[in-house]
Structure 1
């Protein structure tokens, strides 16, 4: 079960885009009743549903998940490797600069 669904944040994002909860529900394949339960922390959401929320609201899936009281899934191996490679490249560039 979600720890805390930030309904006000979701409502504010929807209002900024001129959208309603009904549109949010439809985007995620939920009924209005299912979405209402999620907004009251009485229904768990799947990451697929939260990803649909994120896309509709123009935020990252991690942000949408956090605001839904969920932890986003851990990064994939390829995402972790890419992040590590980027960090190594920064360190190598700094080392090269220091050797000059």
Structure 2
């Protein structure tokens, strides 16, 4: 579990409203009770990365954004994630170079 430093409840409420969702739905998707979610919104409950990932998926944002807005520092990416990110960046750069060569 990671301890929240500052939960941006207004940001979460705005994202939920944009999608026509409620805190009840957010809690259910994360496998939390409404009481647990209320405590998290008041910085009185720790959130797991599993819960943060569920928040992110529901709200259509990255896990990093959801974690940051929950006041949680996400764990560093593992080597596989970093390699995949680097490979994607290299592929994008190669595609740009190929377009310039035409």
TM-score by length of 2: 0.82
Aligned to 1:63: 65
Gaps of 5+ in 1: none
Q: 1:15 aligns with which of 6, 14, 17?
A: 17
Residues 57 and 88 (structure 1), Cα distance of their counterparts in 2 relative to 1, 3 Å cut = closer
CA distance in 1, matches of 2:33, 2:40: 11
Aligned to 2:50: 48
Aligned length: 94
What per-residue deviation string (whole Å, max 9, x for no partner) do you get for residues 45-85 of structure 1?
00000100000000000100000000111111112223444
Q: Secondary structure at the match of 1:19?
A: coil
Aligned-CA RMSD value: 1.8
Q: Secondary structure at the match of 2:29?
A: helix
Gaps of 5+ in 2: none
Q: Secondary structure at the match of 1:48?
A: helix
